[in-house]
Chains A and B, each alone.
Chain A
Amino acid sequence: MARTKDFSVIGKPLPRVDAWAKCTGRAQYADDLSLPRMAYGKLLPSIYPHALIQHIDISQAERLSGVLAVITGESLPVKYGIMPSTQDETALAVGKVRYVGEPVAAVAAIDEDIAEEALSLIHVEYEPLKPIMSIEEAVTVKEPRIHDYGPEGNIHKLVSLEFGDVDAGFAEADHVREDVFFYQGNTHLPMEQHSALAQWNPAEEKLTLWSSTQTAHYVHRALARVLQLPEHKIRVIAPPVGGGFGGKDDPFSHEICAAKLSMITGRPIKITLTREEVFYAHRGRHPVLMWVKTGVKKNGKITAMHFKSFLDGGAYGSYGIASTYYTGALQTITYKIPAYRFQGMRVFTNKPPSGPKRGHGTPQPRYAVELHMDKLAQDLKIDPITLRLRNLTGPNHMTVNWLKITSNGLKKCVKKVVAASGWKDKYRKLPLGKGVGFACSTYICGAGLPIYWNDMPHSEVQIKIDRTGTVTAFSGAIDIGQGSDTVLATVIAEVLGLYPQDIKLVTADTDLTPIDLGSYSSRVTMMMGNAAYEAAMKARKLIFKAASEKLGVPVKNLVAKERRIFDREDPKRALSFAEAARLAETRFGLIGAVGSYKPPKKMGNYKGSGVGPSPAYSFSACVAQVDCDSETGAVRVEKIWLAHDIGRAINPILVEGQIEGSVYMALGEVLMEEQIFRKNLHKIPSLLDYKSLTFKEMPPVESILIETDEPRGPFGAKEAGQGPLNPVIPAVANAVYNALGIRIEEIPITPEKVLKALEEKAKGKLARVGPDGIPDYKFPDPIKVEPPEEWKQEHPPVSQAAEKVG
C-alpha cells in the first residue's frame, strides 16, 4: 500500500458526512418510515420464565374488528440463530417459553391500539416449569433442561484448552496468586428502539425489510431460512441506525414476524419494540464469574496463567459460543503469557439471552486480569505500571495461543497516559478518598472468520464514476452511529483527490450494495476500508491513464488532490477531477471498480482457534481518577485519561467520539448498570429504573491517539469502536482501591458495596466485596495445543529467559 504522510483528508478533523442530516432531524430511522396502507404489528410476551405452552387460543383476537392477522409459533416453525452451530431460536415460542418477555404470538392490525387490544384477547395456557436463574443453579440443576442440546444439563458450551506447559510454568514461579471476580450483566441501551418495516410484493413474490440492524446480511440469511424464500427474493435495507453496541447483531423475532405478517396480509407491516421489549430482546453483556491464577517470577514476569470463566447465557445461544471463547482468547495479546490454560463454560438460564455487547466477551476477563495484576504488583511490592511494562507484548509478536500481533503501540499508550495523568504525583499520594487507577487492554480489528463458514470476502465495495465527475460508492456496511459512512467516503476521497462530501454513498441495501458482513467485531474500518481503498485505487488508475494522455505527464508523476489531477513537478499542468473523469469515460467507457477484503488466514489449528484471530489488534491504556465519599460510599469519577493505539485516525473526531462513548458506557457498567432479576423477571426494564450515567456523572475525558501505522489497515488504521471501553472498568476499580484501600471484586461498584468493604476494613477483616468462589465443577481435561514455532523461537523456556533478565 502506498504510504505517504501527506494526506489531504485522512487524519483531518472533518465533519461527518451525515452530521447535517442527523443534527437537523432529517435522517430517517426505521421507525420514521411509513408506506401507503401500512399496518402495525405487536408481539405478545410470555409472562412465565419457564413453561410449556399447552394451548393458544387466538380466535377472539382474530375476530376483533381491525385485526388483519394473528400468528403463533406454529406459523414460523423453522429454527434459526446467528451461529450455525446453535440454531435454537424460533420467531415465536414453539411449545415452550424460556424467559419472561419472550414473544409467543404476533398480531397485525390497522392501528397500534387495536393491535394492543388484540394481544389482550389471546389466551395462552401454560404449564410452569422450574425456572433456572443463576450460574450456580444452572451448573447443579440437571432437570428440567432449558434446551435439549449442550454437553449436559443446562450447560450450553464447555471449553478446555492449554497452550504450553502450564504446570511447569507454575512450578517455575516465585509467587502464585488466585482471585475470583464477578462481572454483572448489563445491556446496550441504544437510544433507538429496534424497529422493522416489512413489505411483501405479491406480484413479484418479493419481500423488502427495512430494519434497524447492524447485520443486514445475516438478517437476510435468517429471513430466507425461516420464511423459506430464495435469497434473491428478499431485500434487506438498514436505514441509519440509532445506536447498536451489539444489541442489533442478531436476527430478531420482530423482523421475522413483520415479514410473515406482511406476507399474510399483503400490507406493509411495521413493528417497533417498546423500551421494555428492548430489555427483553437484550443480547447484552454476559454476567461472568471468573477465577484466575497466575504465576510470576520475583521481577514480575508472568510464568503461567490459568483462567476459568462461567458465563450466564440466558435463554438462547445467540453469539454465546464465540462469547465463551472470547472470555479466554485475548489475555495473551496484552501480556506475554508463556503458558496458558483456559477453561470456560456457558450456561442456559431463564433470562433474556446474553450476547455481544461492545467488547464482546472481553471486558469481563479484562476487569478480572487487571485487578489481579494490581494485586500481584502489591504482593511483589512492584509499582503496578512497572509490573505491566515488564510483561507487555510488543509488535510483530506471535502469542502462545497462535494469535499474530502486527503493530502494537501499547507501551507508548502506557507511557503517554501515565505522563498525561500525572500518575507519579498522584499514585499513593492523594488524600484519603481520592485515588488513581490504571489498566491496559486490547481488542480485535474484525473477527478473522465469518459467522458462517465460507471462503469469500468479508467486505466488498463498488465504485462508479460518471462523466459529471460524480463518484458513487456502494457498500453493504451499516452506519450505526460509529461513522462508517464517513470512513468509506474519506478513504475513497483521499485516493481520488476529492473531499468526503463529494462521494455519494449507497449503503446497507442487499439489492444494491455488495456484501459487508456487518457492523460488529470492530471490523468495518479495517475490512470495508481496505475494500474501498482497493476499489478506489483501481478507479484512479483509469482516471490517471486518461489524464496522463491528455496532459502528457507520466502516470507516476500524477497527483490527485483538491478535486484536481496534476503534475507533481508542475502543478499548473492540471485537469479538474470532472474533466479527467470525462476523458476516462471517453477512453474506457463507464468507469467502475470493485474492491474486496478477506482477512489473513487463521494460524492456529485447534477447536476454538477461530475466535481471537484478527488482521490486527488495537491497544488502550487508561488512568481513572476518583473521589470517594467514605460516609456515603459514593464514587465520583473525576477524570479519565485514555490513550488508544488507533494505527491511524482516518478522522480524529470520529475516534475521539468512539473513545468518549466507550468511556461513558464503561462508567455505566462499573458504577451502576445492572441487568438484574427479581422473582424470575427483569427487575427494572425501563430507562428510568435501569440506571445509566447522565451528563451529571460524566467526567472530562482526555483522549490520546497513538498512531502506529498498521501495515494491514487502510492507511494504517485500526479499530476504535470497542477497545477503548475495556481498560476503563478495571482502572476505576483499581482507583477505588487506591482511594480507600478496598477491593470491589464484582461490578457495579455501588455505594452499598463500598460501605460494606469499609466496614470489613474497620473490623480488621479483608476489605473486599466479591464472590466467594466458583462452582465446584470438574472441567474436561484440556486439549493440549503446541505453541507455534515462531513463538517458541521468540521465547525460550522461562528459566533461561529469567537468567537473561537476571
Chain B
Amino acid sequence: MLRLPKFEYLAPKTLSEATKMLADHGPDAMAVAGGTDVYPKMKRRQFLPKLLIGLRHLNELKGVQGNAHSGLVIKAGTSLTEVSNHPMVRESYPGLATATGVISTPILRNMGTIGGNLCLDTRCNYYDQTHHWRAAIGWCMKAPGPKGWAIAPERAPEKGDIPCRVAPGSPRCWAVSSTDSAPMFIALDAKVKLMSRAGERLIPVRELYRDDGMFYLNKRHEELLTEIHLPPASGVKSTYWKLRRRGSFDFPVLGVAVTLRQAPDGRVERAKIVLGGVGSHPMEMPQAAQLLMGQKITPDVLDAVAQAVFQPARPLDNTDYHLFYRKRMAAVYVKRALTELASM
C-alpha cells in the first residue's frame, strides 16, 4: 500500500486552540477533520504538510441546530451521513439531503465531514495520481513534484515554470471543483463562517470559491470553516442531480443543484441553478434561472433553460467521461431536475 509521508499531528482541545495552532504554524500546517481527502493525497504526495491539526474530536464542530423557519446552522465537523439523514434537512432542504447522500460511499460519508466536503481539493486526472505516475507524465503546476507543494499562493511556482497538463498553454490550473454539497449550498443561498485567531466572518458560500484550480478557496490559510448557515426554507424546493459513471464511489463529473419557489398558479418566483464538476469553481447559471422567472414550467421554457445552461458549461478533458458528453448532459440534467421540482 502507499505510505504516508512523515508528519507531526497536533490534537487541539478547543476550537480556539486549533485556530491558534493554525496561525502559529503557518502554511506548513494543515487542518484535517474526516481525513478522507487529506490522507490519500498525502499518500500520493499531493499534500506534504509538516504538521496536521486534527479537528475530528472537537465537539464544538458537531451538530445541526435551528429549524426550517429560522434556518439551520450546520457545524462543519458534522459527518456527511448525519447531515444527509438529519430529519430537518430531509424535510426542508431535500436537495441537500440528496447531495450529501450521494457523496462517495456510505463508509466514507461516515468519516467525511460537511466542512471537509466544502473545502474538498479540486480534482484532475493528471493531478490525482501517484508520485510515480506524475513523474512519468511530467509534473504540473498544481503538483510540482520536487519543486514543492502548492499550498498557498505565496508558495506557487513561478508562472509558466511548470505547465498545466490538460491545457498546456494555460497560465492557470484547470482542476475541477468536485464537491457535491457546494453547488447545493450556493443554490440554497447558504453562508459559511470562517474563524481565525483574529476573529470570524460570515460569507456567502458562492464567495468561498475562486475560479482557479490551484487556489480555489477564498479562505485565508489561518482560517477554519466552522459553520454553515442555511436561510429559512420558506417554500423553496430543492434537488440535486449527479452525473457519474457508477452509483457509488465516484466524484461528480457534473452536479446540478436547483432551487425553486413557485406561486400557487405554478409561476416561478425564485430559481437558482448551480453546476458543479464543470469548472474550477461551482458555476451559477443566472441567465438560465432568469428565463424561469414569472414563467410556468412548460416544455418550451425547459428547452430554453437547457440551452442557456449548455452554452456556458465549459468542461475540460481531465475527469471521467468525454467533455462534450458532460457539456451535453448539463442541459439534460437541468431539464430533469426542473421537471422533478415542478412535479412536487
Chain A residues within 8 Å of B, Cβ to Cβ: 45-48, 100-101, 112-113, 116, 193, 272, 274-276, 631-633, 672, 679, 681-686, 688-689, 691, 693-697, 751-752, 755
Contacts and interface: CB of A to CB of B under 8 A. Distances in A.
Contacts of B125: 683-684, 689
Contacts of A632: 329, 332
B133 A685 contact: yes
A672 B325 contact: no
Contact of A631 (B135, B250, B332): B332
**8 closest pairs, A vs B, by CB?**
A696-B247, A47-B136, A694-B248, A691-B245, A752-B325, A752-B322, A694-B246, A100-B136
26 contacts: A101-B132, A112-B3, A116-B3, A272-B1, A275-B1, A276-B132, A276-B133, A631-B332, A672-B245, A681-B133, A681-B137, A683-B125, A684-B125, A685-B133, A688-B249, A689-B125, A689-B128, A691-B245, A691-B246, A691-B250, A694-B246, A695-B248, A696-B246, A696-B248, A751-B325, A752-B325
A697 B246 contact: yes
Given A632-B332, A684-B125, A752-B325, A47 B246 contact: no
B305 to A, nearest CB: 15
Given A681-B133, A689-B125, A693-B246, 7 more contacts: A46-B136, A274-B1, A274-B130, A275-B1, A697-B246, A752-B322, A755-B325
Given A45-B132, A274-B2, A276-B130, A694 B329 contact: no
B1 A113 contact: no
Interface in B75-131: 125, 128-130
Given A113-B3, A691-B320, A751-B325, A697 B133 contact: no
Interface residues of B, number: 26
A308 B129 CA distance: 38
B44 to A, nearest CB: 9
A692 to B, nearest CB: 8
A673 to B, nearest CB: 10
B3 to A, nearest CB: 6
Contacts of A681: 133, 136-137
B328 A47 contact: no
A466 to B, nearest CB: 43
Contact of A689 (B135, B248, B320): B320
A48 B136 contact: yes
Contacts of A682: 133
A393 B245 CA distance: 40
B159 interface: no
B6 interface: yes
A694 B137 contact: no
B143 to A, nearest CB: 15
Contacts of A631: 332
Contacts of B133: 276, 681-682, 685
A276 B135 CA distance: 14
Contacts of B128: 689
A697 B320 contact: no
Nearest to B336: A631
Nearest to B243: A632
Nearest to A629: B332
A66 to B, nearest CB: 14
B321 interface: yes
Given A272-B1, A694-B248, A755 B328 contact: yes
A397 B329 CA distance: 52
Contacts of B137: 679, 681
Contacts of A276: 130, 132-133
A694 B106 CA distance: 13
Interface string B308-344: 0000000000001110010011001000000000000
Interface string B1-41: 11100100000000000000000000000000000000000
Nearest to A112: B3
Contacts of B248: 694-696
Contacts of B320: 689, 691
A691 B250 CA distance: 9
B128 to A, nearest CB: 8
Nearest to B130: A276
A697 B247 contact: yes
